Chains A and B, each alone.
Chain A
Amino acid sequence: AQRVTQPEKLLSVFKGAPVELKCNYSYSGSPELFWYVQYSRQRLQLLLRHISRESIKGFTADLNKGETSFHLKKPFAQEEDSAMYYCALREEGGKLIFGQGTELSVKP
């Protein structure tokens, strides 16, 4: 069955430290993966998608088909990065399958 797993519910780091939010998936087809972010009291918004291969707000994510992973990374965390982060996989029909989310807390 198609599934997205985010093993950490909470990740707490200090400002300036590197961050890696883990995401693993299982999907029989060719996956299309996304990271969505939800800041406090704001709507879910797209952070980045694997096909774009771009860096947004200093975050990057590389699709590793061998390890079926799409981890989100940032070399130096900022306090404004504190938010809920959701990894999502888009199925052929277009619907998204989300992980349970990881809360990132960046402390000063």
Chain B
Amino acid sequence: DTGVSQNPRHKITKRGQNVTFRCDPISEHNRLYWYRQTLGQGPEFLTYFQNEAQLEKSRLLSDRFSAERPKGSFSTLEIQRTEQGDSAMYLCASSFVRQGADRNQPQHFGDGTRLSIL
């Protein structure tokens, strides 16, 4: 088990372009979370999945952002028409949650994808 894997590690793109990030969670984990971290701040929640279902989205997640987890395994986060303010570290985390007991497993984080908008 190599832990949570995120690709790419770094992404540099011009304003207005679309970008897509991938997250591969720990294999038996059914919960997958996306967070965003800007310089000098702690991670901020964006969205999360229980298997393939997207259960919650933050107000930080504008219409330009979309996330999927089509088969309940890996997830993708796409940002369309990127803006300067999208520059950040995008973190993925996963955990295992038993039915009716969602507090019993901590989240494990990936290395993140650092997005820089030129």
* A43-B111 in contact (CB<8A): yes
A-B contact number at CB 8 A: 58
* A44-B103 in contact (CB<8A): no
Cα distance, A45 to B4, chains bound together (Å): 11
Interface residue total, chain A, C-beta cutoff 8 A? 25
Closest to A9 in B: B40
Contact residues of B with A, CB < 8 Å? 3, 31, 33, 35, 40-45, 48, 55-56, 91, 93, 95, 97, 102-103, 106-112
Neighbouring B residues of A4 by C-beta, 8 Å: 42
Cα distance, A108 to B109, chains bound together (Å): 30
Cα distance, A97 to B42, chains bound together (Å): 9
Min C-beta distance of B97 to chain A, whole Å: 7
Contact residues of A with B, CB < 8 Å? 4, 6, 9, 32, 34, 36, 43-46, 49, 51, 86, 88, 90, 92-101
* A34-B111 in contact (CB<8A): no
* B41-A32 in contact (CB<8A): no
Which 10 pairs of residues, A with B, have the shortest CB-CB distance? A98-B42, A44-B109, A95-B45, A46-B106, A43-B111, A98-B43, A100-B42, A86-B42, A101-B42, A94-B102
Cα distance, A44 to B106, chains bound together (Å): 12
